[in-house]
Structure formats: structure tokens, C-alpha cells
Structure 1
Amino acid sequence: MRTTETESAPDTSTATGGTFEGPLAGVRVIDLSKILAGPYATMSLADLGAEVIKVEHPDGGDPTRAWGPPMVGPDATYFHAANHSKKSVTIDLKSDRGQAQVHKLLADADVLVENFRPGSSLQTIFDYKELAAKFPHLVILHISAYGDHGPMRDEPGYDMVAQARGGLMSLTGEAGGPPMKAGFAMGDLGAGLFGIIGIVSALFERSRTGKGQYLTTSLYEGQLALHVNWATNYFADGKRPHALGSGHPNLVPYQAYPAADDYFVIAIGNDSLWQQLCTAIGRPGLGEDERFATNRGRVINREYVNEELSRTLRTKTVDHWCALFSAAGIPAAPIKHLDEVYADPQTEALGMVQTVDHPTAGPMRQVAFPVNFNGLRPPVRSAPPELGADTDDILGAADHPHPATTGA
């Protein structure tokens, strides 16, 4: 954490009113990662107040700058998704000069995030043992596809590969249908989120010990951690789980159902809600049937329960059922598309979408950090940077770095 007697992190106005001084204000992060997992983690740290310096190759930068169309300004929207509130410098990491520049940055940094492929030249150049010896205050996060140990440690991997090998694709899609990946990049995002937890925990520990540490996580490990009840189900009975469409392995009814005009979801988490549902749809006899009185019975008779519910629910529209269930306190919702989600008054009320000015693209909407602090939403402080936009400022300042401190 960089601090001087004259420096302080400025208060920043938020879209929800008031000011927000980020809990990570004063923390400097050097981001050597690319694509999604690492950049998403560092963007979140930036949302929490950290200064994030994204280091990119002078020739093209982060590959996701070209992952389009669509493009907004000179870069693809995929890049814009995971890089707001950062600064960009261009450095050739394989050159002697570039390595010296990075070391100057690290002397003044608190966190380093990288996703160098295991065994690659860059992992050798920026060996964590050497970095830890030279910068003992530094918290280093390494993100890989499969982890630092085991027979797959040197294998490359993108999000979909992790979803496949990590089991998510076997649990996604309709029962008996072809394998499908999740709509979100859950391999990358899972690793990024666990990486954030590791970094913040290591900074907290450093506040007590004065020492940084080397953290590793991977897309594969994140997938295993997110199996949760799917894993414990398998550990208990040894049966191979399969995709259930929108269904839940442990709850019925808990899935999408057809109405007269579209599908919508019902989520029944206890037996009392089941009785309320049956009464609301005019099927009290279904609720009184001893076979279905408990969730255990409904799971065992999943197919029959879902057929009976569908037969009734098809008679009215989504709006009809959702209004009825809302009045009765039964969890249900229409299945919205993203244009509907971002036009929803709930989204607006939460201040989750903020607008920042991009130097060439103009006003740009960005999704904000999903945690409030004392009622304040962390602001999106700046648009995703153009390639190398801060190189002169940052590398010039790196010639006279502030002394690194041991506080978090």
C-alpha cells in the first residue's frame, strides 16, 4: 500500500449519491494478466478503490481488444467488459528493458496478478520465488487452467475447456440432450472471484505479518468449488449426476414451466410453499396427496409432479401467474432477456449500470460492482483504457517510486 503524509485517496461521487472511499484505496495492483479471469479480478479490485496498472504488449495488447465485433471505439466490447477503472501501459515483458520496468513498478506495488502458462518463458522470467525474495511485501496471484500440481498442470485452457473438464457442461442443458456450456463464462469468472478472495485475505494477513505471499488458483479448481450440492449428492450415493434442464437435483418444483404464452420459473424451497402453490393454482388435491406432501416425495415423483403442474400452468399467461404468485408470496419470475433486464426499474434503482466517458467512443455504460458499502455503490471511475494510454505517465513515475510499505 502506497502512502505518504500528503497523499490520500479522493472521495468519489457514486451513482447512488454520497461519496465512496474504496476499502482498497492506496493499494497498487500490477496486472500482467489477459483475457478474462485475471482482468475481471483486477477490475473488481479497481472498483474497490485500488490503483490498477494493466501491462500489455505494445503489439495489440490484451487479445480481447480484438475479440469482436461488436466494437466500441478501437476495442471490442469483450475487452470493455473486464477492464474499466484501470490504467494501461505497454511493455515488452520479454525484453531486458521491459523486465526492468516491471520490477520498478513492483517495488511500489502491493499486488501482482498474472496468468502465465506454466512452464512458459514469461513464468520463468517472472519466477515467483525470485519476486518474493526481492519484494517480500508483494502479494502474487497466479491463475492457470488446471492448477500448479498434477498431470494437467502444463495444459492450456480457455473457459469452455474448463467447463467441459470440470463437469459443468455435463450438468447444463436439457436431460438427454447434447452438452452445453453455461451462458456465463463460469470457468473464468469462478477463478477470478476466488482470486479476489485470496488477494484480499492475503492483504489482511500482511497487515499483521508485514509479508506478502504467493497465491494460486485455476479455472478447474474454481469449477470444483462451485459444484457444491452436486458434489455432495455424488459423494453420498455414488450416482453420476446428469443435466436436468432448468430443474434442481434436490428440490421439486424448482424449474421453468410453460405458461400459455411463454416459460417462467417457480422456486419452491419448503413444504409450506408447496401447499400455497397448489392452493393458488386451484389444485388443492395435489397438495393434499401424501405422495407429494414432502420435498422428498416430490423429488422421487419429479416427472409426475412436473407434468401435473405444467397441465394447469399452460392455461394462463406468464403475467397472470407471476402476479398471482407474487400476491401469494410464492417465489416466481418471468425469464427476461438482457434488453429487458437493463430496462428493468429494479436495475435502475440499484444503480448497477453507470456511464463513463471513453476518450474516443464517448459515453459508455458499464456494470458496477455488486456490493454496497454503507449504502454506497462503488463507482466505475473511468472507462476501459486505450492501449498504452498511461505509459508515459506511469513509467516516468516508476523512475521515482514511493517506498513500499508493509501495511495492507
Structure 2
Amino acid sequence: MTRTRQAPLTGRKVLDLSRVLAGPWCTMILGDLGADVTKVENPNGGDDTRGWGPPFAAGEAAYYLCANRNKKSIALDFSKAEGQEIVRALAAEADILVENYKAGGLRKYGLDYDSLKEINPRLVYCSVTGYGHDSPLRERAGYDYVIQAEGGLMSVTGPKDGAPHKVGVAVADLFTGMAAAQACLAALIAADRDGEGQHLDIALYDAQLAMLANVGSAYLVSGDEPGRYGNGHATVVPYDLFDAKDGAIVIAIGNDRQFARFAAEVMKRPDIADDPRFAANSARVEHRDALMREMRPEVAARPATYWLDGMRRHGIPCAQVRGVGEALTAPETRARDMVKRVAHPLAGELELIGSPLKFGATPIVDFTPPPLLGEHSEEILSGLGREGPEIAELQRRGVIGSPPSKDP
């Protein structure tokens, strides 16, 4: 019988000085993996995303809820000396610190890497910025939309003859959050090996460029500026959105064998399968428009189920376009435990999207709800040896926020 072990980061401590999305996404991943994550928030409103709604669940914005599970919140003003002292005490015990202030922005508080490594040489200190600490644009703030524009992603997204489009979710932030988590985990292994931490310089701009993947590689190889193909693909054909008689479907044919089966067995057009213009993918790319003139009327003449059932029988990748609600309530979503229910102190039962990280023996932790602003301030301060009267005095002086109301 396989013994289930603790989550991978059980016993590790993460100090989260980040807000909005890239940094919190990183620390949420670390929290899912079992780390004890302390989220430090300004008492005056906390993480910006708390107000990014509607929709709200009992006053908590859905945007904030998406990136802050498995954390504890302390409402702390570290522009004050007493607040800086508390952050340093937390950093002294932390394995990882994540921050996303402008490059060098925490130096004035004595909370930069060079200052904190003096009290914790093993600290992995992850800075998430827009452009990186040695970039000529280091002073600029990082915003996902701006990075998608400057990093080339918008230039290849959208209709062929239309305007550039951003992706529907903030992917530059999410790319960066995942890269930051990966870097933190690798640096933690190095710290365990070497007994010494390090500074990680993770930039939205870098992450966006890296995720250009084959599109970026195509430019470096050819020198040709990639174009937009709408829902199509630059180098694979047919790989596109088609209008069936009763709705849109995706046909994503990845090789010549699949295309031959599709044309002859599903579309019932062996003449197309045998046409030398379409026999090989490179030829189909060259004769894209001619193939589309043949395919689109054929697809439009029959219902979606005809095409989907036929293609699936022949192992040809395809899909009906779903809404977000359809995707989140699909049987395969539930089977993979990708929607989780948690008890929230204000909203009652709350649903959150699950983690894609699946472990055979060291599973991620059971979710705790995204914390209320300052929900754990007293608990965190008590863990640092602060007593009730001292905590009350810190609250009176505005160093920490008032305890949150848990009344609906």
C-alpha cells in the first residue's frame, strides 16, 4: 500500500510582499505545495485586486479570490519603522520572499535583498518586476496589457485583417508567476545544497518573450515578421475555427495521416485527400486559401455533431467551442477535481478553480479560502512573540490594521 506523504513544501515559510497577479500567482502555487504563506498587505485597502469587481463574493472580488488561496494575511504598514521591524522578523524565519515593487523600491525601507540577506543568508528573495533590475526600462511599472503589446504577443493575436488583440486573460502576469514559482523552487534546492540563498530577478517582459516559443523562433530563423492568423495557425493547416450548420467547431489536424482520413472518411472528399496541393502540410500551408474554399462550405452544410463524432471516430483532434461556465461544469473538469469547494468566513461555501499539480505520493494541501484583509494579523504577530497589549498598541498607532469583521 502506497503511503501518502506530506505536501512537498510542508514546513517551508514564504513571505509574500506582492500584490495584483504575477507575484500572488507565484505564492499561491507555493502555498498549494504546502508552504506556510504570509501575505503582507497595506491596512488601507490591501491587495489592489480586492476592489477589482464586480463580481464580488460577500465583498471579496472574484479577481482577488483567484490568486490568494492557502495564505494568511497580515495588515501591516511597513512605511513605519515598527512595520519594517516586523517584516524583518518574518524574513528572518522565511525560506522564500516574493515581492513585486518597482526595481529597488524596497531599499528605502531596508527590505531589499542586500539588507535582508544579512539577517537570513539562506533567504531566496524573488523580485518580480516589469522589465528586470538591469533593464534600461527598470523604472517602469509592469502591466500585463503593456507587456503583451511590447512583447510581441498582441501582434500575432487577433483577426488576420483586423487590429491586434490581447489575450482574454492576463497571460503575461500568469507566465511570470509560474516562472517565478519555478525559480523559487530551484533556488530553494540550491540553498539546501549550498547553505546560501540568492536574489531572483524575474521580469514580465522576459517571461512574455520566452513564451513566444515557435513564433519567436520563426522570426529568428527567417527574419520575417510573423503575422496574425485569427483562429488559424501560421504553420499547420487546417488548424482553425469553422462554422458548422449549428455552431462553431475547432478542427486541429496535426499531421498528413490525420488530414487524409479527415478528407476521405469524414468529409467524404477523397479528391481533396489525393490533391497534391493538400497532400503534405507544407503544401497545405502554401495553398491555405484554396483548401479553405473547399472546406468551409462543406463544414457549414452539416451540423456540429456530424463533424465531431466523425473526427473522434478517426482520432482527429476537434472540439466544440465552450463557454467558461460549460468548461467549469463539464464532467471531465469535476473528474480531475478542478473545481474545489471551501468554507469562506463571509461567503459561506465558495468555489475555486483547482490546481493542475497532481502528485502520486505528496499531494498538494487542502485549500483554505483567500484570507480577509488582516485576518491573521494577531496570529502572525503572536508567532513572533508579540503579546496582546503590544499588538493592541501597534493597532492603535496604525502599524497594523483593525481586525476584520466576519459578519456577513
Tell me the residue number matched to 2:316.
330
CA deviations on 1:303-339 (whole Å, 9 max, x unpaired) are: 1112211121111111221111111111101110011
Structure 2 unaligned regions, length at least 5: 387-408
Contact conserved, 2:333 with 2:339, CA < 8 A, in 1? yes
Tell me the residue number matched to 1:148.
133
Listed as ranges, the matches of 1:255-274 within 5 Å are 255-274=240-259
**1:232 maps to which of 203, 211, 217:** 217
152-161 vs 50-59, greater mean Cα deviation: 152-161
Q: Measured at CA, do residues 26 and 99 of structure 1 come closer, stay the same or move farther in structure 2, by a change above 3 Å?
A: same
Q: Measured at CA, do residues 124 and 102 of structure 1 come closer, stay the same or move farther in structure 2, by a change above 3 Å?
A: closer
Contact conserved, 1:369 with 1:377, CA < 8 A, in 2? no
**2:374 maps to which of 378, 388, 392:** 388
Tell me the residue number matched to 2:17.
32
Tell me how far apart the structure 1 counterparts of residues 373 and 14 of structure 2 sit (CA, whole Å).
18
**1:297 maps to which of 280, 283, 286:** 283
Please tell me the residue identity of whatever aligns with 1:290: P
Please tell me the residue identity of whatever aligns with 1:81: C
Per-residue deviation, 1:213? 0.8
2:356 paired with 1:370: yes
Please tell me the residue identity of whatever aligns with 1:282: K
2:202 paired with 1:211: no
Tell me the residue number matched to 2:105.
120
343-352 vs 303-312, greater mean Cα deviation: 303-312
Tell me the residue number matched to 1:9.
none
Tell me how far apart the structure 2 counterparts of residues 123 and 378 of structure 1 sit (CA, whole Å).
37
Please tell me the residue identity of whatever aligns with 1:216: D
Tell me how far apart the structure 2 counterparts of residues 150 and 384 of structure 1 sit (CA, whole Å).
34
Per-residue deviation, 1:150? 2.3
Q: Measured at CA, do residues 47 and 329 of structure 1 come closer, stay the same or move farther in structure 2, by a change above 3 Å?
A: same
Please tell me the residue identity of whatever aligns with 1:83: N
Listed as ranges, the matches of 1:22-171 within 5 Å are 22-120=7-105, 125-171=110-156
Contact conserved, 1:37 with 1:188, CA < 8 A, in 2? yes
Q: Measured at CA, do residues 130 and 379 of structure 1 come closer, stay the same or move farther in structure 2, by a change above 3 Å?
A: closer
Please tell me the residue identity of whatever aligns with 1:273: Q
Q: TM-score, normalised by structure 2?
A: 0.91
Report how many residues are paired: 383
Tell me how far apart the structure 2 counterparts of residues 340 and 38 of structure 1 sit (CA, whole Å).
29
RMSD of the alignment, in Å? Answer: 1.5
Calculate percent identity across the aligned residue pairs: 39
Q: Secondary structure at the match of 2:277?
A: helix
**1:352 maps to which of 338, 341, 352:** 338
Contact conserved, 2:8 with 2:34, CA < 8 A, in 1? yes
**1:313 maps to which of 271, 281, 299:** 299
Q: Secondary structure at the match of 2:349?
A: strand
Tell me the residue number matched to 1:10.
none
Per-residue deviation, 1:300? 0.9
Tell me how far apart the structure 1 counterparts of residues 117 and 286 of structure 2 sit (CA, whole Å).
55
Q: Secondary structure at the match of 1:292?
A: coil
Contact conserved, 1:104 with 1:399, CA < 8 A, in 2? no
**1:194 maps to which of 179, 185, 201:** 179
Tell me the residue number matched to 2:396.
none
Q: Secondary structure at the match of 2:127?
A: strand
Per-residue deviation, 1:298? 0.7
Contact conserved, 2:104 with 2:112, CA < 8 A, in 1? no
Q: Secondary structure at the match of 1:200?
A: helix
Q: Measured at CA, do residues 375 and 365 of structure 1 come closer, stay the same or move farther in structure 2, by a change above 3 Å?
A: farther
Tell me how far apart the structure 2 counterparts of residues 157 and 143 of structure 1 sit (CA, whole Å).
9
Per-residue deviation, 1:21? 2.3
Tell me the residue number matched to 2:271.
285
Tell me how far apart the structure 2 counterparts of residues 25 and 255 of structure 1 sit (CA, whole Å).
44
Tell me how far apart the structure 2 counterparts of residues 263 and 372 of structure 1 sit (CA, whole Å).
32
Per-residue deviation, 1:124? 5.7
CA deviations on 1:338-387 (whole Å, 9 max, x unpaired) are: 11111211101111111000001100001111021017863442100000
Per-residue deviation, 1:170? 0.8
Tell me how far apart the structure 1 counterparts of residues 87 and 135 of structure 2 sit (CA, whole Å).
30
Q: TM-score, normalised by structure 1?
A: 0.91
Per-residue deviation, 1:110? 0.3
Contact conserved, 2:84 with 2:109, CA < 8 A, in 1? no
Per-residue deviation, 1:157? 2.5
Contact conserved, 1:116 with 1:122, CA < 8 A, in 2? no
Please tell me the residue identity of whatever aligns with 2:326: E
Per-residue deviation, 1:156? 1.4
Tell me the residue number matched to 1:179.
164
